C-alpha cells in the first residue's frame, strides 16, 4: 500500500519507544505517505518521542496528557494550525496502577479503577470530540488498541480488562455517533507484545509463551503486524468498516484455552 495515504494527515497518541504498538502504527502510516503528529505525556517522555519522530518525514511532536483537558484542547488547536485538517487518529493509550495488575481483582482501589477508566477508555471519547471538527466529511478513521482481556479473564489483567471492555463499547457508540459525519471508528485487538505498558502485568512472560504454543499460527505477533492492520483501517480499503474490533493475534482468540 505504498503511497496509499499520500497527502493525508494523522495523529498518534501513545508512542513510548520502538517496542510500542503506537510506533508500529506510526511507521506503517508514515511509509504509506501520511504526515504525522506524535504526542508525549510529560517531560520524561519528550526526548524519546522527538528522537523517534526524526525518522518520520515532516512529522511534528506535541505535548498531551489526556487527563488534562486543557492539553487535549491545545493539541487539536495546534493541529488545526499546522495541518488544517485531520484524516486519522490513533489512540494507543492505556494505564493502570501496577498494584492493580496483580493479586485479586476485588482488591482494586476506587482510585485505581477510576484512573484506568479515565486514561484507557474515556480518553478515546475526549479525543474524538476534539478531533471531529478537523475530520468531518473527510472519510476519516479513528483507531484504538484493545486486548482479549476485555472479554475473557486473563490472569492479572484485572482492572485493565474492565477498562478495555468499556473502550470497546465506546468504539461502537462512537461509530454510530460519528458515522453521519464521515468518520469511522474501529479497534485492533492485538496479541500480547513486550511493550512498556505490558511490563506491569504480573507473569506476562508466561502469557506470551502460552500463546506461541496454542495459537493457530503457533507464534506471537509483531508491532509490524499491528501497524499493517492500522494502515488498512486508515486507508480507503476499509472505507465501509466501522464499529468493529479487528483481531491481530495469530488467531488465539478463537481457541478455547
Give catalytic residues, as residue numbers.
147, 157
Within 86-145, residue ranges assigned H as helices are 110-117, 123-135
Q: Which residues contact 177 (CB under 8 A, 6 or more apart)?
A: none
Q: How far is residue 148's CA from residue 160's CA, in Å, rounded to a whole number?
A: 11
8 A C-beta contact, residue 226 and residue 188: yes
9-13, strands of its sheet edge to edge: 60-63, 35-40, 9-13, 88-91, 140-146, 183-190, 245-248
Q: How far is residue 131's CA from residue 87's CA, in Å, rounded to a whole number?
A: 9
Amino acid at each position: 500500500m505504498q503511497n496509499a495515504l499520500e497527502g493525508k494527515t494523522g495523529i498518534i497518541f501513545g508512542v513510548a519507544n520502538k517496542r510500542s504498538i503506537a510506533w508500529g502504527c506510526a511507521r506503517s502510516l508514515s511509509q504509506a505517505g501520511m504526515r504525522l503528529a506524535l504526542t508525549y505525556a510529560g517531560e520524561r517522555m519528550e526526548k524519546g518521542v522527538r528522537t523517534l519522530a526524526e525518522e518520520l518525514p515532516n512529522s511534528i511532536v506535541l505535548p498531551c496528557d489526556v487527563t488534562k483537558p486543557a492539553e487535549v484542547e491545545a493539541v487539536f488547536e495546534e493541529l488545526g494550525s499546522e495541518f488544517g485538517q485531520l484524516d486519522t487518529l490513533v489512540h494507543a493509550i492505556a494505564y493502570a496502577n501496577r498494584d492493580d495488575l496483580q493479586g485479586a481483582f476485588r482488591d482494586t482501589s476506587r482510585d485505581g479503577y477510576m484512573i484506568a477508566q479515565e486514561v484507557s477508555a474515556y480518553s478515546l471519547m475526549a479525543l474524538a470530540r476534539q478531533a471531529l471538527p478537523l475530520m468531518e466529511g473527510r472519510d476519516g478513521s479513528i483507531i484504538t488498541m484493545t486486548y482479549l482481556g476485555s472479554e475473557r479473564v486473563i490472569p492479572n489483567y484485572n482492572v485493565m480488562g474492565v477498562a478495555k471492555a468499556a473502550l470497546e463499547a465506546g468504539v461502537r457508540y462512537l461509530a454510530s455517533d460519528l458515522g453521519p459525519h464521515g468518520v469511522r471508528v474501529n479497534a485492533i485487538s492485538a496479541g500480547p507484545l513486550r511493550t512498556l505498558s505490558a511490563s506491569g502485568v504480573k507473569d506476562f512472560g508466561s502469557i506470551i509463551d502460552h500463546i506461541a504454543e496454542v495459537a493457530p499460527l503457533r507464534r506471537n505477533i509483531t508491532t509490524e503486524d499491528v501497524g499493517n492492520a492500522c494502515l488498512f483501517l486508515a486507508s480507503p480499503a476499509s472505507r465501509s468498516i466501522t464499529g468493529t474490533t479487528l483481531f491481530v493475534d495469530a488467531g488465539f482468540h478463537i481457541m478455547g484455552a
